[in-house]
Structure 1
Amino acid sequence: MREDNFTAKTVQTLYRRAGGHCSICDAPTFGPSGNEWKATNVGQAAHIAAAASGGPRYDEKMPSEERKSVRNGIWLCSNCHEDVDRNVDIYPVGKLKALKHEAEKKARERLGKPPSPPSQGSDQLSFMLDALAIQRIRQVKGQMKADDLSSLEEKASSYLHQLVDIQLAEDHYGPVVSRELIILLHEFVEICSNMPVSVAYVIDNFLHDAMEAHLPLWSKEEVDRASQVAAALIHSSRPLKERRLIIQRGYSFVKDLIKGIRSHFGSKDARLGFPNELILEEPRPRGRPRRGVALVESDCIDGDDEDMIDGEEDAERRYLDLMRRLTKTHDPKTEFTLEDQILKLGFEF
């Protein structure tokens, strides 16, 4: 299969135009190695539209010369290059071009200027904290990939608790940290669907912090990714008593997300698509396992739960109906009434 690879000159041009920094996380990509005559490079020239058919964002209509030109390239560190090609829905062509434009603009503004000392501004501190946070998030990703899948649920709490001191609501963390964290959470819930309640609360806190800090900067892809994490909480397969605690975390986030999008972008914004689907969705009935069918742990119902199932499912439907109404109202008095009814059902909002 033919690949339209960049020439050495194109690679060098992309590196220079980005000022040697990654166009996403802004990390420097060149530095000294252990050998005093050599330098270390962790940067890569990435294709915006793939070099060959079957690659990420491949455009069959793009001419070969365009595909291997500077216009179709972006300078990235090796970690961001991997994320960009693995998460095509988060990094479509248009977004990568915008990131490239911003990175080159920043590189142009830096030319001939020394970095500002921390006492004159918080940019340098923010950059350092972002870089450290991203490094830790990627270390946790690496641990998840290296571990045996069968042991992930046992280690679920230890993974996320390594990151609890990354307080996204604090001003000095940039949107790139929120993006990295939500990608990690999405990968986490895909692997670990049977999470304990304590882990669901940590995930919910991360989602709310990311939304409060950076929602005005989120694209539709980022809203959808965060909503998919919330959907994993909503569709939890934990036993009945724990499940109530988990699904209300998911619905609470989706409700707040919908209100936030309407506030920042308007009631007809495309970002409302997937969150609206989730809040309109009926809760899935648990039902009882059929006689003679092999059971998994999450299907087992103890004696107390069996008597509660019908009433609990009615309560869940009533709760979801109240949450739908809560997302739509703008009247403080109505909000208070709905919230009071939700509390009386034994749920949170």
Structure 2
Amino acid sequence: LQMAISGIRDLSLIQTAPENRLAIRTFVVRYDDQVIREAVLREFERGGQVFFVHNRVHNIQAVANHLRRLLPEASLAIAHGQMKEKELERVMLRFVQGEYNLLLCTSIIESGLDIPAANTILINHAERFGLADLYQLRGRVGRGNQQAYAYLLVPSDLALSSDALKRLRAIQELSELGSGFKLALHDLEIRGAGNLLGSSQSGHVHAVGLEYYIHLLERTIKELKGEPFVEEVTPEIHVPLPAFIPEDYVEDTGERLNLYRRLSFCRSDEEVEAIREEVIDRFGKPPQEADHLFEVIKLKILLTKLSIRKFEETTSSLVITFDESTQVKPEKILDLVRRGKGRYRLTPDSKLVAEEWREEGRVPFGAAKRLLHALM
């Protein structure tokens, strides 16, 4: 994946889900016998089957005894990799044929199984699994046209590590069909990209951030290929409006920082709007300060495309400072100054100044964006 997104290898995505396939509803819950019983019985009531994943063979029999006491209605079977081949095959065939309705198993089931009748999976000690493992295990259910459920069980008395929390949050939030690529990107950022030319399978990309790491890698690859690499200009923006995410709107500091990070890497208005819609869905109607922030990000995207180094707007003037690598043609600037009838002037230090500047309309920076579009 790292090689693909950095341009070394090609990447193709399958975006279309199988016909009539539904997204798997995913829940992260503390281990609770009542939750387990209700989830299993709900599946039994509609004639379905259940996977219960416990990835420790040494005490799997004790878990089986507990489940039999908790669910006397279940016909339970055990499957794990230390069983003899013929015995394991016999158990799996009987489960497929419906003779068992609850399969207690290890992660041996994570690939190669397609059982449409099994539409609920419970994964014990989900914090011990990697993101790829959780994604594969969740994919064992929902193989037909019925709604499937995945319960990620974590111990009630265990404080989870930050990486475990990130994995569980990602697998819960990205449950829509076709989310595998996004999950892979999350996994890459959590674990690190490792060493392209060595044996290390995970790395410390978080020391510089995944996006910046990929940026550095992309630049180096283009240099080695002899291709031109245009360094992206990060514009400095000064506006007279408050543009931020208020603490009383998104209370969690980590979540706010994550939203700022995601917005900073947007490259189109559509990406900004997608995040805005997600924020509205999760936190409600955004306050004015947050709306201003979304508009500032759209303004930044436009400034970056034009390689404008600085944008300053006050209640009476607008100053645009062009970078040496600006994409704006000099003729466009001169034509704008000429048509402005004294409203615009170009200074010797590559600044375009708009005097007596006043924003019009209800959309923040609307007039400024129209001016920038005129320079494109």
Q: What TM-score, normalized to structure 1?
A: 0.29
Which structure shows the bigger proportion of residues in helix conformation? Answer: 1
Q: Which has the larger radius of gyration?
A: 2
The structure where strand makes up a greater share of residues is 2
